Structure 1
Amino acid sequence: MTPFEPEYAADLLNRLKLGDKQAYERIYLTYSKELLLAAYKKTGERIIAEELVQNIFISLWEKRAEAKISNLQAYLFGALKLSVINHIRNLVMENKYVQYQSLTYTEDHQDTANLVDFHDLSAIIEQGINSLPEKTREVFRLSRYQHQSTKDISAGLNISEKAVEYHITQSIKRIKEYIKNFYIFL
């Protein structure tokens, strides 16, 4: 059997679900180069491509027992596509942030008062986050600081996606209210 025959992939998947490291290694050896090439074509950066592919295989191993995979090759390339999209989305957000920072906080216009206000606001936001219930605070930090998707947070914390959305909504409302009350108090 060749690595791309359905029977071969199905056997590897069954063995992988049982925690067979040799099956995992065989999957890696069979698909990693092809995934790496596709990732490199999309990102244009070898290190980023390697990181994306490595993360796919780490996730495959971590989720091996509960993953519902019918077509291994389609699953891996679908995961790669999502990883590349998330990577590009993060780059776009980072670039927008850098542009915003350069327009808003250029060295010519950045004075001590602005710096103090920025640090004060950051401290107030952090206090607001710390005032949240533990689970809500954890969901907020995963969502906003670690840029995890609702689905990833749901899986990682073993709660429903609706619960994740609820915690995010509640945290944003409470932090806004905290900031508003803080400034009213001043």
Structure 2
Amino acid sequence: MLNEKEGLDPDFLRLKADDVLAYELIYNKYAKLLLRHAFNKTSDKIVAEELVQNIFISLWENRQKLEVVNGQRYLFSALKFSVINHYRSLVVQNKYEDYLKANSPITEDNASHIFEEKELSQQVELALNHLPEKTKEVFKLSRMEHQSNKEISSKLNISEKAVEYHITQSLKWLRQFLKKRVLSIFL
């Protein structure tokens, strides 16, 4: 009788069993390759880093459900779908911006713009209020006070990886929250 685990990637099997060292091994083995590939597809270092970071966060969060035969193929497929989703969100954002341009009267441009900014700020604040306190604090220091990950790490006495994690989680939440809000308002 064949073992159901035969044929599965051994590193991912260890990861499935909550082996942190296997996670680090997979990260060290594939992160740079994925980052290079993501940068080639997006031409944006920050976006590429965020996409790869999200893949590894998802990998850890879903580790116990994984049945991976080929680790490299699995990770590059995940990256492919992340890049596609990134461009889809850009299309939605561009459509929203086009909608605003097309439907904003020229005479009311300033008042409309101020209202939209205020509305967006309120929606962002509302979204941030749903985040855990530490994640919200890291996001505000990073995006609103423009502090570097190193400065935030030092200020909050957490690792730079933890800072990256909190930023990624907050951006992911904001995207989902705002996408639902914007689509429901404008579609």
Normalising by the smaller structure, the TM-score range is 0.5 to 0.7
* Counterpart residue number, 1:32: 31
Distance in 2 of aligned mates of 1:25 and 1:84: 23
Distance 1:143 1:50 in 2: 16
Matching residue of 1:181 = none
Report what 2:177 is aligned to. 145
Tell me by how many angstroms 1:10 deviates. Answer: 2.1
Query: TM-score under structure 1 normalisation?
Result: 0.56
Q: How does 1:64-143 map to 2 (within 5 A)?
A: 64-110=63-109
Q: Structure 2: how far apart are the matches of 1:85 and 1:110?
A: 33
- Residue in 1 that maps onto 2:9: 10
Q: Which amino acid in structure 1 is aligned with residue 89 of structure 2?
A: N
CA contact (8 A) 2:51 2:79 kept: yes
Distance 1:84 1:144 in 2: 16
The superposition leaves residues 1-27 of structure 1 with CA deviations (integer Å, 9 ceiling, x where unpaired) of xxxxxx8x8221111011111110000
* Per-residue deviation, residues 76-113 of structure 1 (Å, max 9, x unmatched): 0000000000000000110111011011114424597x
1-side partners of 2:95 and 2:58: how far apart?
Answer: 29
Partners of 2:176 and 2:46 in 1: how far apart? Answer: 25
SS at 1:70 equivalent: coil
Cα deviation code 1:31-77 (max 9, x no counterpart)? 00000000000000000000000000000000000122111111100
Determine the structure 2 residue equivalent to 1:133. Answer: none
What is the alpha-carbon distance in structure 2 between the residues aligned to residue 99 and residue 111 of structure 1? 17
Distance 1:96 1:38 in 2: 27
Q: How many aligned residue pairs are there?
A: 122
By relative contact order (CA 8 Å, sep 6+), the higher-ranking structure is 2
Task: Specify the structure having the higher radius of gyration (Cα).
Answer: 1
Opposite residue 145 of structure 1, the aligned amino acid is F
Name the residue aligned to 1:165: none
Identity of aligned residues (%): 45
Taking a change above 3 Å as real, the CA distance of residues 28 and 94 of structure 1, as seen in their structure-2 partners, is: same
In 2, Cα distance between equivalents of 1:73 and 1:24: 14
Scaled by the length of structure 2, what TM-score is found? 0.55
Contact 2:12 2:66 in 1 (8 A): no
Deviation at 1:145, TM superposition (A): 3.4
Structure 1 stretches lacking a partner, 5+ long = 1-6, 123-141, 149-171, 173-186
